[in-house]
Amino acid sequence: MTTVRKLACLSVFLLAACGADPAPGPVEQIIVREPGAAPAVTLATADANADDPASALLAEGKAAFANCSACHSLEKGAPNGAGPNLFGIVGAAAAAVPGFSYSDALKGSGITWTAAELDSFIANPAAKVPGTTMVAGAIADPAKRQAVTAYIESVTAN
């Protein structure tokens, strides 16, 4: 095996996938919207006016709810996910959303979801209701909890 032959093999090994063509741009580019521009359909109007402290709080809550939305929907009539649909949850009794399989712990908790109860639950679900199947999504930051709770409540009010 000569040196030249080895070099050839090595080059193939490394450069096989480097495209020989200069990278072309799109053949067709459909720009639906720019980043940051409001989508055509919004879930809530909370971020309408960021100068208003109440709006700012709701905007923060909406942003923070993005983490919750992995399991919970806030859309009226939307199906349950890994967690129950939370539309109208403020003021409702615990473990009452139809079609969701709750833990015995939550079923037996007797909680009514006031904003304060929601706040203490979100702070540490397993401490508030030992045995709950809500194993993710705890929010340690009190300000963020307040924002999320306010946002959940505002969506329901709309």
Partner 1 sequence: MGKWSRRAFIGAGVAAGGALVVGVAVRQGNPIDKLSPLLTNGENEQLLNAWVKVDTDNIVTAVIPHVEMGQGVYTALAQMLADEMDADWNKVRILEAPADMQYVSDSIARDFLAPDLQVPAWFEPTVAGGILELAQAMGLQFTGGSYSVRATGQRAMRTAGAAAREMLVAAAASEWQVPASEIATADSMISHAKSGKSEPFAKFALAAAEQSLPAKPKLKSPENYKIMGQPMARHDIPAKVDGSAVFGIDADVPGMKYAAVKAPPVIGATVESMDASTAKTMPGVLQILNMGDFVAVVADGYWQAQQALNSINAQYSKTEADDLDLDAIFARYATSLDEAGEDGGDMQTEAGDVAKSFAGAATKVEAEYKVPFLAHATMEPMNCTAWVRDGKCDVWSGHQAPVNARQTAADAAGLAFEDVTYHNAYLGGGFGRRSTSDYITMATRIASATGYPVKMIWSREEDTAQDHYRPSATSRFRGGLDKDGKAVSWNNIHTHLFDPADAPTIPYYNIASHKIRKVDVPMHLRFGPWRSVDHSQHGFFIESFVDEMADAAGKDGYAFRQELLAESPRHLKVLDTAARMSGWGSALPEKHGRGIAFVPSFGSIVAQVAEVDMSGAKPKVTKVFVAADPGFVINPDGFTAQMESAIVYGLTAALYGEITIKGGSVQQSNFHDYPMLRIDEMPEVEVILINGDHERLGGGGEPGLPPIAPAVTNAIFAATGTRIRELPLSKHSFA
Q: Are the C-beta atoms of residues 127 and 115 closer than 8 Å to each other?
A: no
- Rounded least distance, CB 37 to partner 1, Å: 9
Question: If binding is defined by CB under 8 A, does position 158 make contact with partner 1?
Answer: no
Task: Name the segment binding partner 1 (CB under 8 A); options: 8-16, 118-126, 128-136, 138-146.
Answer: 8-16
For residue 58, count CB atoms less than 10 angstroms from its CB and return exposed for 0-12, middle for 13-18, buried for 19 or more: buried
Listed in sequence order, the residues at least 6 apart from 123 whose beta carbon sits closer than 8 Å to its beta carbon are: 138, 139, 140, 142, 145
Nearer residue to partner 1 within complex by CB, 26 or 110? 26
If the CB atoms of residues 34 and 51 are measured against partner 1, the closer one turns out to be 34
In this complex, which beta carbon is closest to partner 1, that of residue 47 or of residue 117? 47
The identity of residue 10, as a single letter, is L
86 neighbors 76 (Cβ within 8 angstroms): no
Supply the minimum distance, in Å, between the C-beta of residue 124 and partner 1: 20
7 sits near partner 1 (criterion: CB under 8 A): yes
Contact flag: residue 19 with partner 1 (CB under 8 A): yes
Does 77 sit near partner 1 (CB under 8 A)?
A: no
Helix or strand holding residue 118 (H, E): helix 115-123
The span from the CA of 125 to the CA of 132, in Å, is 7
- Residues found near partner 1 in the complex (CB under 8 A): 1, 3, 5-7, 9-19, 22-35, 39, 41
